[in-house]
Amino acid sequence: MNENEMDQRPMTFEDFRNGTKHKFDDISSELYREYVFPDMTIKIQNPIALNVSYSSGGHRVWDAAGVSHYVPGGWKEIKWEVKHDMPHFVK
C-alpha cells in the first residue's frame, strides 16, 4: 500500500498515536457524535478515540479522517448513533 492509499483509508483505533498521559477509549462503534450547546451543535463523523477531562468536562476526540477535536464542556446534550450491531454504550 503506498502513502496516498494509506491517506485515503479510514483510520482505526490501531492507527491512533497518543503522545500524552491522557487515556483514550475506543469509540469506533459510533457513526457520529454530536455535542449540543445552547447556541450551536458540533457533529463529529466517525469518531474513533475519546478522552474525557473530568476536571474541565472537555472531550478530546480523534476521528477516522485523522482529525483531532477538542470540545469544551458546557454542552446541554451529547448524542450519537452506533454502527449496525454495535454496542450502544461503550464508555
Which residue segment(s) compose the domain that 64 sits in? 3-82
Is residue 75 within 8 A of residue 49, CB to CB? The reply is no
Where is average pLDDT lowest: 7-11, 21-25, 37-41? Answer: 7-11
For the cut 80, the answer to whether the pLDDT of residue 1 exceeds it is no
User: Would residue 62 count as lying in a domain?
Assistant: yes
- C-beta neighbour count of 49 within 10 angstroms: 22
Mean pLDDT computed over 44-50: 98
The pLDDT score that the predictor gives to residue 47 is 98
pLDDT class for 3, splitting at 50, 70, 90?
Answer: low
User: Would residue 87 count as lying in a domain?
Assistant: no
User: Would residue 90 count as lying in a domain?
Assistant: no
User: Would residue 65 count as lying in a domain?
Assistant: yes
Q: How many domains does the chain have?
A: 1
| H helix or E strand, kind and range, residue 3 | helix 3-8
Distance, CA of 80 to CA of 31 (rounded, Å): 7
pLDDT class for 4, splitting at 50, 70, 90?
Answer: low
